[in-house]
Structure 1
Amino acid sequence: MEISFISLEVVKSTNDEALDRIAANLATEGEMICANLQEQGRGQGGNCWESEAGKNLLCSLILTPHQVVPAKQFILTQVVSLGVLNVIESWVTNETCRVKWPNDLYINDKKVGGILFQNIIKGHILDFAVAGIGVNVNQEAFSEELPNAGSLKNFCGMEIPLTQFRNQVAQSIDQFYQLTYSKSGIQQIETQYLNKLYRINQWNNYRVSEREFIGMIVGIDEFGRLAVKNQDGQVRCHLFKEIEFVV
């Protein structure tokens, strides 16, 4: 995949910019739209994404993943999550970096990034996918309403060149994306995602329908749902927003 960068100063949302390009038949695979500031940045499930201007990576990558069937589109979330996490680990070498299902990026117990996918399906084809990526890179202070937010600079103690970081992220995502063209490559992605999954194979507190329980994440099913085992040994698969991590 050939990566090309479109750099903007201020946008409502880089995902909106990408979707507008698709609607106008201007988009090609590998375009990464980047901004210094998003006025209406969004996270998964409509959550707001807070970011200080010029301090963080705010971008959207356009894909045409026709090789991925719509029912298995979660593989794209795994691709981008691993691609970004791989770069985070290269800068923050002495901490534990993980993906919190489905697509939050954590260093220890601090959220440093997230991914928002918006896909366009035509018939049985995944025509376009837009991966919105937000990573707290050089921002040092966060709102009190975000008690578990952090940044790479908080952990590594140094200013990270944003252009270099952006280029590394694009290259890393592309390396994982190429694996989606083969069955063995997809298996490799799925294995690595599980190995990097936050709280995998650990007993922790979770909440479903306002009921709190102790459970263990044991995997991801073929549709990307989170498989959690309770203390009675029963395994149930959960959709996003159906289960809450109790921190």
Structure 2
Amino acid sequence: MNISRLKRIVGASLLIAFAASCGLKDKAIPTEPKARSDFLNAVAAKLTTEERNLLNRFVARLDTQIAAGGPAVDITVPRALALERSYESQLTDTQRNFQKLLEAANAALAIDVRDATVVTDENARQPGDKALRFVLNITNRGQHPVEQLALRVEFRDPSGKYQAAIPDLQLGGVVPPGQAGRSVQTLPLSAQRHQYILDGKPLQISAYPTRIVFVGGESLEPGKEMRTLESLHRAKIE
């Protein structure tokens, strides 16, 4: 076999392999588990390590969507990689912004939650209904007077397991720099959802600001970034 013929054979083989690779990537990822597993194994050999990891994370998100009753979608590998890159980039940027704003908000305000007690709910529709009464002590440790704020208050057991939350507790009143404000709040309790709290078991209560409005109109709003994060997590793959 002469050299020129060998080159033609090698060139043809590479062309066939390239065409097969491109054809595989251009096909939609199968939804049937066995077919999809075989397909992804075949595609993986043609991808970089970073691309394989991206594709695995995309498929995991797609599985979660389908398991929750969401739609299965016909999507090619290049499209899946592009979607996952975009999703993860947005997620990283939003998490960074949220952390930055939350740190600034926590530097401006110190929030202490204490004196949590199960009491009779005075505003209940049914006699005998209970509520968790607690006290918020809020200290302005910044340089500007605070005019309004919104808090997220979370109630967890000592292991960190979620029990309840007040997602958007609105408070008003000017708190000058270096001074503190006090607010008594209640969480209505349901026997169906809050039995742990009704039983008087140990609670860890935390509160952090989702929005701070200073006198003059300036504000810090980590809650906006938090809502963006929630929206990203809920977004459907289409």
- With the length of structure 2 as denominator, give the TM-score of the two structures: 0.31
Higher strand proportion: 1
User: Between Structure 1 and Structure 2, whose CA radius of gyration is higher?
Assistant: 2
- With the length of structure 1 as denominator, give the TM-score of the two structures: 0.31
Higher helix proportion: 2
